[in-house]
Structure 1
Amino acid sequence: MVTLFMTVGTGRPDPRTGRASIAHGLAYSVACHRPGEVVFFGSDQSAATVRGIAEEYQEMTGEVLPPFNSVVLPDVDDLAACIEVMDAAVKGVAGRKAIDYTSGTKSMTAAAVIVAALHQVPLSLVEARRGVDGIGISGTEHLREQRLSPAYTRVLREQVGADALE
């Protein structure tokens, strides 16, 4: 089983559900990954979004959200602090891992990408067609896996010299 790490912002209320507008997309990601455990990274204000994710997930799948932990980031706009907390959490889990950076502050999502690259953890986000209100339209979501291999190749080329790889 995979442990899914997810950045979670607060979103804005979706007038259709009253939940954070991002809850459906994040629940969709959990449904796609089918993790054994989920670790949510967010602020102390993200708890309502996590409740919304659990509700959306249950409506979507008919199942209860897998076991989860919420890790509160001390400053969601401090890139170094986000990296430190996320890195420790990812290191502390054995086995298969995945990181979803669909939601959160710019610093949170940048930190998630950096930690995924450091640990070579698969990285993804949920895309959806957006309505006129800017909110993703339920039913149009799809999981987009991100390839970090171009970055790994670049690092290797710089380490051994570009000539050695050609």
Structure 2
Amino acid sequence: MLANKDNKTAIKLIVNSISHTLEVAGNTRLLDLVRNELRQTGTKEGCSVGECGACTVILDGKPVCSCLVLAAQCDGKEVTTIEGVADDPLAQQLQQSFIVEGGVQCGFCTPGVLMSSWALLGDNPTPSDSDILDALEGNLCRCTGYQPILNSIKAVIKENLQSLNSA
């Protein structure tokens, strides 16, 4: 990672399984890179201070608030946005469950909540209620009152357990 004469740093990263080599300013946030440079606009900017979770992406397998991560810190790393899980069966199952259970209302927080939920269930297909709450603690929702979101995730867990038990 070397800075050029324009004080930009060349970075290489993988976003949604596609390799990119880019030059970024030192103050460019991962959120801005993803939305403005790579046009992955499903990731939302909410609070800009890491409090709301609307900008949650997966960075090297872990959910992060992309508004708090500098793009230069992502050199050599892998990023997954909501667009990157569009064809993933678990993500599709979560999306459908959010629709059925009312976990989506205005939808602004939904990409971040889905990314946090997807990461949780990908690591732990049978999380406890406490695990779910811990995974979602960085995601704020003004519309649902959270219970429909929790019901949506629990419905996926139940469905997957039933599939395992019947196999």
With normalisation by structure 2, the TM-score equals: 0.27
With normalisation by structure 1, the TM-score equals: 0.27
